[in-house]
């Protein structure tokens, strides 16, 4: 793993807040942004919580910097291979819309690129080595994101 995901998201978000102070950008319409932001926060928390619960029931580590002890393919993992990262992304977007921080929203693009190539790709290689054919079958059945 190139970087611990909560640190990546949190650092980008804080940088966005600083940039919003130093170089303000236009704001989004307040009421729609707040409604969408609240929905994103609620959805992000629910998806991440569900994924975490399923991982804990399977007896595997939730933290990506610790070894996986089980291949989890049920719960939200039936629909996406990365529900916790989707939850974290929705939470990030939601809070950025609620604050609002246009810079934080813009910085999500590089965050997602780092996640894809610096975190998820490495995790996928690790899981393929660890779980072999069952993981390859899972890869063919379930999309990376949505």
Q: Give the pTM.
A: 0.93
Confidence (pLDDT) at 1 = 64
Q: What percent of the chain has pLDDT over 90?
A: 88
Burial classification of residue 50, based on how many CB atoms lie within 10 Å of its CB (0-12 exposed, 13-18 middle, 19 or more buried): middle
Where do the H-state alpha helices sit in 4-145? 5-22, 30-58, 83-98, 102-114, 121-131, 133-141
Confidence (pLDDT) at 25 = 83
Question: Cβ distance 73 to 142 under 8 Å?
Answer: yes
Question: Closest by alpha carbon to 71, among 120, 118, 119, 132?
Answer: 132
Joined together, the tokens standing for residue 134 give 């069952």
Average pLDDT of span 118-134: 96
């Amino acid at each position: 793993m190139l970087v611990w995901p909560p640190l990546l998201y949190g650092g980008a978000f804080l940088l966005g807040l600083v940039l919003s102070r130093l170089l303000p950008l236009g704001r989004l319409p307040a009421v729609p942004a707040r409604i969408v932001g609240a929905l994103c926060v609620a959805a992000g928390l629910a998806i991440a919580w569900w994924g975490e619960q399923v991982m804990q029931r399977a007896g595997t580590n939730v933290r990506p910097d610790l070894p996986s002890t089980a291949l989890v393919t049920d719960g939200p993992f039936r629909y996406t291979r990365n529900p916790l990262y989707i939850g974290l992304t929705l939470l990030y977007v939601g809070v950025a819309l609620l604050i609002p921080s246009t810079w934080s929203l813009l910085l999500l693009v590089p965050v997602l690129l780092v996640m894809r190539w610096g975190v998820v790709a490495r995790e996928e290689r690790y899981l393929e080595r660890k779980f072999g054919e069952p993981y390859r079958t899972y890869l063919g059945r379930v999309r990376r994101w949505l």
